C-alpha cells in the first residue's frame, strides 16, 4: 500500500476553513442540479480495474468507426450521447457519472491550468473555486471534477494512474461533505477497506479505491493542481510532495 506520512488518508480539515466550505454545500448542489444534463458516465481504461472489465477508453476508434458504418443513425449522436449508447450496447464498466467543472485535455497534465479548459459550467462554480484559491492550497490548479453516484450505483474498485511505476504523485484534494458516499481505500492483498470519513483529504491514488452503492444520491469533488509551498508546510506534507 502507498502511504503519505505513514497514513493511507491525510485529513486536511484542520488546514482549511472548513466552516465556510460547509456553507457552500447547498450552492455546490445547486450547481450540480443546474448542470445535471452535462453529466456523463465516468470513463475508465480497463487495466486500472481490480476485477477484469472493459472501460470506455478500451473501445478503439476503429470499433467506433465500424459501429457508425453498421448503424448510420449513430452519426446523429453527439459525443456525450455516443457515450450513453456505447454503455447500453457494449459491456462497459463505468460506475458513477461525473461533471467536468474544469476539463483536462490529458491525464498526465490535468494539474496544469494551461492544459485544461473552462466552460459555462465553470462560472456556476466560481464561489467554490474562489474558496479553493482563498485557502492557498495550490500554487496553480487545473482539472476540477464532480463525481455523482445515484442511488444503488457504486464506483468500481480501481487505481487512477495507468502506469503505476511511471506516474508522478498527484497533488489533489478530495471533498465529500456528507456521509452518503461510502468511499474507501482498498487493500487488495488483505481484502480490507479503509473508509474515508474526512470532508476534505488527500490520499495516494496509486492505491485501489472505490465506493459502495448507497440508498441516497451522493457526490464528491476533486481538484487537481500543484500544492503551494505554504500549504505543504502547513499540512506537513513537504516530505511526500515537496
Sorted by where each starts, the structural domains of the chain and their CATH numbers stand as: 9-40+95-241 (2.60.120.10), 56-89 (no CATH)
- What is the number of other CB atoms lying within 10 angstroms of the CB of residue 188? 13
- Give the pLDDT confidence score for residue 152 in this predicted structure: 94
In this prediction, residues 29-56 reach a mean pLDDT of 94
| CA gap 40, 29 in Å, rounded | 17
- Give the pLDDT confidence score for residue 107 in this predicted structure: 87
pLDDT digits (tens, 9 = 90+) for 119-167: 989 999 999 999 999 999 999 999 999 999 999 999 999 999 876 555 6
- Give the pLDDT confidence score for residue 44 in this predicted structure: 92
Share the mean pLDDT of the chain.
Answer: 94
Which residue, chain included where needed, has cell 456525450? Answer: 80
pTM for the model stands at 0.93
pLDDT digits (tens, 9 = 90+) for 202-237: 999 999 999 999 899 999 999 999 999 999 999 999
Amino acid at each position: 500500500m502507498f502511504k503519505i506520512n505513514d497514513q493511507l488518508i491525510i485529513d486536511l480539515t484542520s488546514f482549511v476553513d472548513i466552516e465556510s466550505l460547509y456553507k457552500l454545500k447547498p450552492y455546490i448542489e445547486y450547481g450540480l442540479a443546474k448542470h445535471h444534463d452535462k453529466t456523463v458516465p465516468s470513463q475508465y481504461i480497463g487495466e486500472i480495474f481490480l476485477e477484469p472489465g472493459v472501460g470506455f477508453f478500451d473501445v478503439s476508434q476503429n470499433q467506433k468507426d465500424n459501429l457508425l458504418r453498421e448503424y448510420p443513425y449513430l452519426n446523429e449522436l453527439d459525443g456525450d450521447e455516443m457515450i450513453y449508447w456505447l454503455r447500453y450496447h457494449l459491456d462497459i464498466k463505468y460506475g458513477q457519472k461525473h461533471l467536468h467543472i474544469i476539463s483536462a485535455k490529458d491525464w498526465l497534465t490535468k494539474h496544469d491550468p494551461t492544459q485544461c479548459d473552462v466552460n459555462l459550467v465553470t462560472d456556476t462554480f466560481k464561489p467554490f473555486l474562489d474558496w479553493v484559491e482563498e485557502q492557498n492550497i495550490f500554487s496553480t490548479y487545473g482539472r476540477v471534477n464532480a463525481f455523482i453516484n445515484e442511488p444503488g450505483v457504486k464506483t468500481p474498485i480501481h487505481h487512477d494512474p495507468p502506469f503505476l511505476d511511471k506516474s508522478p504523485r498527484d497533488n489533489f484534494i478530495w471533498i465529500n461533505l456528507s456521509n452518503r458516499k461510502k468511499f474507501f481505500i482498498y487493500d487488495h492483498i488483505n481484502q480490507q477497506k479503509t473508509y474515508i470519513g474526512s470532508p476534505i483529504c488527500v490520499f495516494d491514488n496509486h492505491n485501489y479505491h472505490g465506493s459502495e452503492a448507497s440508498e441516497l444520491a451522493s457526490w464528491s469533488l476533486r481538484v487537481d493542481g500543484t500544492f503551494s509551498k505554504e500549504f505543504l508546510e502547513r499540512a506537513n506534507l513537504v516530505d511526500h510532495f515537496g
